[in-house]
Amino acid sequence: MAAKKRTIRTIPRERTPMAEQPAAERARNFREVACGFTLAEALRESERCLLCPDEPCVRGCPVGIDIPGFIAKLGEKDIHGAFDVLSDTTLLPAICGRVCPQETQCEQVCTVGQTLEPVAIGRLERFVGDAAISESWSSVPFIEPAGFKVAIVGSGPAGMACAADMAKAGCQVTVFEAFQQPGGVLRYGIPEFRLPNEVVDAEIAKLVRLGITFRTNVLVGRLFTIEQLLTEMGFDAVFVGVGAGTPTFMDIPGEALARVVSANELLTRVNLMHARDFPSFDTPLGIGKKVAVIGAGNTAMDAMRVSLRLGAEKVMCVYRRSRDEAPARAEELHHAEDEGVQFHWLTNPIAILDDGSRGVGALRCQRMELGEPDASGRRRPVAIADSDFDLDCDTVVVAIGTDANPILGQTSGLALDDRGYLAVDADLATSIDGVFAGGDIVTGAATVIEAMGAGRRAARAMKRYLGLVDSDVPYDDGLGAAPFGLSGSGRDYVRVRAV
């Protein structure tokens, strides 16, 4: 430990590159784009962290991961130790290391980043998370039964994070999911080449080891209501993390034609229903060879890159503003560009033309120019007169955003805000006593880590509501404790303190 103090002059100057599949190759397969660090690469990158005392990265992280702490352990080649540090604050390092927008969070404020490129925190987190999965490590919280039953509605990132915290606090947690498999947007939304389903499975298996029950095929609101969870079903508290996810359409002529789909539908067919393996799987895909994707957010980028991998010859991005206003992460935009997506900036779709047999023949667009800033602070796109033209395509994917899912508003007494999202107070408490909510159903579409952060904040509020105090001995070596959860060996399963 008495190693020489690192300074900005002694650390490796260049950020350690991560191997990626070449663009031309990866654009035709569903394997992960970014291949991950080797141990040598991870060790080298860990040396770039100054372990600086003011730790701006920790404050930059929505869940407050002890970033220097895990990187220090990694530097000592104690990967399990690094995993334990991560496990104190995040349950899903293999997921967050992949899908967090680190460039606007921890890495943006990294001290090294003021002079050189910032430490590749996300890649290091992924390295540790992947090691934990391949070695079947799981954190070993010291769980004391608290005697409370907690229901989590929605098994996406917000629900997973809240479920984990409540299980660690000793609650008997049941997660309800409407689909046949848990994971929410991590399962149906984010494609395999960014987040393999195996990683989602592994992270969910960890939650099962915490004693959490997953009930799939349950549509809360319709099978039973939020109110029934608290009354007839005996739950002491409820967290609602159902996501936003009701796609909006443009209301332009031709939207009913076959091969006009929402990005949500395309991604769900491919990611959850395995439509790319049709006919081995029964769900058909319904896209053609020339795909126009409307929108330029992260979901749009996913839809474009999925379309390429499904064998589309031409994939186009159609966006009414310019590249500078595109809401997608910079890295996603780069990836899409590298893989050969054609971008049509300042292009506004006005009609989808019939090919004569009720399919898509073309996308009629008009050219735009940027005017004065609008309410969002971005310059408003204004149509250029007589600039209509037709883009040749046989499929249109609409990826212009989502609205709040209406089901809970229809079936419960939960108060909504004026946009239809759930109304919550500063503690994420809803209008019904004992019911908390977080993630996209509160904020509108945001990121995975923000949803996880909301799930954890709601868990803190829920614990206060139930009068629970977290154990001050969160981890245990296993002595004198009775096994609980799935059987395992050594420290790799959850234990309950003998009462």
Partner 1 sequence: MSEPNAGPARYEIVRREDFSDVTYLLEVRHPEMARAARPGQFVIVMSRPEGERIPLTIADFDGERGTITLVIQAIGKTTREMQRDLAVGGSLYALVGPMGHPSATDGVKKVVCVGGGLGVAPIFPQARAFHEAGAYVIGVIGFRNKDLVFWEDKFRAVCDEFIICSDDGSVGMKGLVTEGIKVAASRHSDIDRLIAIGPPIMMRGCAELTRTLGITTIVSLNPVMVDGTGMCGGCRVRVGGRTRFACVDGPEFDAHTVDFDDLMLRLARFKAEERAALERWQQSCRIEAQPAAIASRQEGS
The residues binding partner 1 (CB under 8 A) are 172, 174, 178-180, 188, 208, 211-213, 215-219, 222-224, 233, 245-247, 249, 251, 255-259, 261-262, 264-265, 268-269, 273-274, 278-286, 358, 398, 405-407, 410, 485-486
Non-local (6+) Cβ contacts of 362 within 8 A are: 352, 353, 355, 390, 391, 392, 393
Strands 379-383 and 481-483: unpaired
In angstroms, rounded to a whole number, what is the distance separating the alpha carbons of residues 204 and 207?
5
CA–CA separation, 82 vs 298, rounded Å? 30
Q: Cβ closer to partner 1: 224 or 343?
A: 224
CB of 246 to partner 1, least distance (A): 5
Closest CB to partner 1 among residues 132, 285 = 285
Q: What's the distance, Cα to Cα, between the start and end of the chain in Å?
A: 39
Phi, psi (rounded to 5 degrees) for 223: -75, -40
C-alpha 65 chain-centroid distance: 17
| Alpha carbons 12 and 311: distance in angstroms, whole number | 41
Identity of the residue, 285 or 326, whose beta carbon is nearer to partner 1 in the bound complex: 285
CB of 264 to partner 1, least distance (A): 5
Check if the beta carbon of residue 412 is closer than 8 Å to that of residue 432: yes
Q: Which two tokens stand for residue 332?
A: 């996603």
Tally of CB atoms within 10 A around 118: 21
Choice between 23 and 407, CB closer to partner 1: 407
Q: Which is nearer to partner 1, 214 or 436 (CB)?
A: 214
By the 8 A CB rule, do 39 and 123 touch? no
CB of 271 to partner 1, least distance (A): 11
CB of 374 to partner 1, least distance (A): 24
H helical segments located in 100-240:
121-134, 157-168, 185-188, 197-209, 226-230
Q: Which is nearer to partner 1, 90 or 262 (CB)?
A: 262
Provide the minimum distance between the beta carbon of 129 and partner 1 in the complex, in angstroms, as a whole number: 24
| Beta carbon nearer to partner 1, 214 or 345 | 214
Q: How far is the CB of 27 from partner 1 (least distance, A)?
A: 24
Which value, to the nearest 10 degrees, does the dihedral of the CA atoms of residues 210, 216, 222, 224 take? Answer: -40
Q: Burial code of 63-80, b = ≥16 C-beta within 10 A, e = fewer?
A: bbbbbbbbbbbbbeeebe
CB of 278 to partner 1, least distance (A): 7
To partner 1, the closest distance from the beta carbon of 253 in angstroms equals 11
CB nearer to partner 1: give 125 or 236.
236
